[in-house]
Amino acid sequence: MNTDVEILHGSTASSLDSERQRVLRNTYVLLAVSMLPTVLGAWVGLQIGMASLMSPGIGLVVFLGGAFGFMFGIEKNKNSGVGVALLLAFTFFMGLMLSRMLGFVLAHSNGASLVMMAFGGTSAVFFGMATLSSVIKRDLSAMGRFLFIGAILVLVAGIANVFIQSGALMITLSVLVIGIFSAFILYDLKRVRDGEETNYVTATLGVYLSLFNVFQALLALFGIGGGGGD
């Protein structure tokens, strides 16, 4: 009898581990696919001149309205193919919005190099956090509340800075964003590995948003301080 229980327990544990690996694998695949519409959206935004089409205030309203609208739709349909389609549409939209910052950085004579530096830095953050999520055994659930509060605070300060236009505040916020959302990547991936997040669409959305914010913050830092080639 004890042997039967042990076999059943081992089979259940193996099944749970297999499911977690499946969710993690699907998250990585969908995350990689989501980069394509992001790049396409950024290219389209640069071609049509998104920065000149909307003032900073209008751009902020469109960004917030579009982002939260898409996120609501994705979460509502996360268990169907509609959720995947909405996620990919969302990443295209985010690429469009990102083109404003890209245009600013690319205006430097060394702009392409700065963009590649931001991409390299974001990639390093992702692989570093992904590796950490696989080796840290400690439960990180308590991090969520503090990271969420930090994200709200930098969002509010960022909105204020659209109107204040303070370079010093932008640098400070960019550094904070890199720290907070790097930790969010670790937190979200660890939740998948621990079986706390079982939907790969939701997991992908969380990690994508963190990567987007880290990349945008690095672009801002390099754009402000790295244009020495002008």
Q: What is the pLDDT of residue 55?
A: 77
Concatenated DSSP letters of 44-56? HHHHHTHHHHS-H
Task: Indicate the pLDDT class of residue 78, thresholds 50, 70 and 90.
Answer: very high
In the predicted model, is pLDDT for residue 229 greater than 70?
no
Compute the Cα dihedral for 123, 125, 131, 134 and give only its sign: negative
Q: Which two tokens stand for residue 180?
A: 């907070």
Average pLDDT for residues 94-108, to the nearest whole number?
92
Over the stretch 116-133, which tens digit does the pLDDT of each residue have?
Answer: 999 999 999 999 999 999
- pTM value is 0.89
* Integer Rg of the chain from CA: 20
Average pLDDT for residues 160-188, to the nearest whole number?
93
**Do the beta carbons of residue 195 and residue 20 sit within 8 Å?**
yes
Q: What is the pLDDT of residue 29?
A: 96
Distance CA 119, CA 134 (A): 23
Task: Indicate the pLDDT class of residue 216, thresholds 50, 70 and 90.
Answer: very high
